[in-house]
Amino acid sequence: MAFAGLMTLAAAGAADAATATREPAGTLPDGTRVEAVTLTAKSGVSARILTYGATLQTLSGPDRDGRQADVLLGYDDAADYAAHPNFFGVTVGRYANRIAGGRFTLDGKAYQLPLNDKVNSLHGGTQGFDKRPWRIVSVKDGAVTLALTSADGDQGYPGKLDVTVTYAMGDDGALTITFGATTDRPTVVNMTNHAIFNLSGEGSPMGATGHRLTIPAQAITPVDANLIPTGALRPVQGTVFDFRNGRVVADGLRDGRDPQIVMGHGYDHNFALDKGLTATPGLAARLEDPVSGRVLEVSSTEPGVQFYTGNFLDGTFIGKSRHVYRMGDGIALEPQKFPNAPNQSAFASARVDPGKPYRHVMIYKLSVAK
C-alpha cells in the first residue's frame, strides 16, 4: 500500500527515543511502489529501510568531528536496486551464501535450486528475498516490521514460509535486525543482511581496506575452487585469516601465498565464531576506521560470519552520488549459518520445522572511538 505523505512516530513520552518516519520512495520499472522508513536515534545515527528487498539503504552517523556520512554502499534510487542488483544492504533468503550444485536432501527427498552462481545456488536463487516487494506490518517506537510470504516450491525450496524482518533503532544508535520465519513443511532457512560498509563514508576514494578488523574466531571453513566449504575447520593462527587481535584488512587481502586468498579473489570466507550458536547476540566482528574514528560492532545469535571484501565489484557498478564501486571499496560482515550447511552434517543445522520458528537476531552498532 502506498503512503501518501510523511508519518513520524516515537515512543510515547520519550522525547529522546528513536523515531520512525515513513514516506514514498519511488516506483520500480514494473510499476511497483516502494516505501521507505527512516529510523533516527538521539545519538545522530540513522537508518533508511526500503520495502523492496527489505533493504537497508543507508546507515549514517557522525565521525570524531561530528561530520555525518552514510557508511553503506548502494544506490540513491530504489529502482536501481531492481535494475542493477548486487545485494547492497538487502535481506538475503531463503538461504544466504552458497549451496553446492543448488542441491540438498531433506528427509530423504532431493531438492534442486536455481544455479545463479556458476555451479551453485547463491543467496536464495535467481529470485531471492532481495528481489521481492515486502509489505510493512508496523511502524512504531523507532522500529519497522516488514513481511513476506514465500510459497511452497519457491526457488525450489519446500514449504510455505511466512517471513518477517524487524529493524529497530536504539537510543544509542544500535540497529537491531530480527529475522523470523514459520513454515508448514520441513525446510532450510538462513537469513542475514548483506550491508557493505565503508566507515570513512560511502564513496571514500581510499576504500575500506585500511580499516582494522577483529573477528573472534579461531577457525574458518576453507573453500574449494567453487567457494564451497570443504567441511573442514582450518585454524587461523599463523595465517592472514587471524583477526582475533585485530589487523588491517589490506595486510592479507592480496597475499597470494595463501591458496584460500587466491580462490576467494581476496577475503570471501566464513569464520566459525568462538561463541557458536547463541540465544542472545554475541560479538561477531568489530570494524574500526582510523581516518574517521567510526567503529562498527556486529553482533549475532548465529555461529558464523562471512567476511567479504567486495571482490566482484569491478567498476561496472555505479552507486550513490555516481560513485564507481571497485574491489575493496566496502566490506561485508554477514552473520549466518555456515555456507552449504544443508549438505554438511557437521555444521550447525539450518533445518526449520512446523511449530519451531526460525529466529536470527543481529545488531549493527555504529559509534565513534574515544
- Helix runs in the chain, H state only: 78-83, 250-253, 259-264
Q: Is 288 a catalytic residue?
A: no
| Bridge partners of residue 96, in order along the sequence | none
Of 288, 297, 302, 334, which is the active-site residue? 334
Phi, psi (rounded to 5 degrees) for 163:
-120, 145
The three grid cell numbers given for residue 191, joined into one nine-digit string: 537469513
Tell me how far apart the alpha carbons of residues 356 and 349 are, in angstroms, rounded to a whole number: 13
From residue 19, give the alpha-carbon distance in Å to each of 15, 47, 294, 306. 9, 11, 22, 31
Question: CB-based burial of residue 232 (10 Å sphere; 0-12 exposed, 13-18 middle, 19+ buried)?
Answer: exposed
- Would you mind telling me the total number of residues written for the chain in this entry? 370
Q: Is 334 a catalytic residue?
A: yes
Cβ atoms of 279 and 258 within 8 Å: the answer is no
Candidates 243, 359, 230, 218; CA nearest to 307 is 243
User: How many beta carbons lie within 10 A of that of residue 122, not counting itself?
Assistant: 23
Candidates 219, 250, 226, 260; CA nearest to 347 is 219
Of 123, 194, 269, 360, which is the active-site residue? 194
The three grid cell numbers given for residue 172, joined into one nine-digit string: 544509542
Active-site amino acid positions:
194, 334
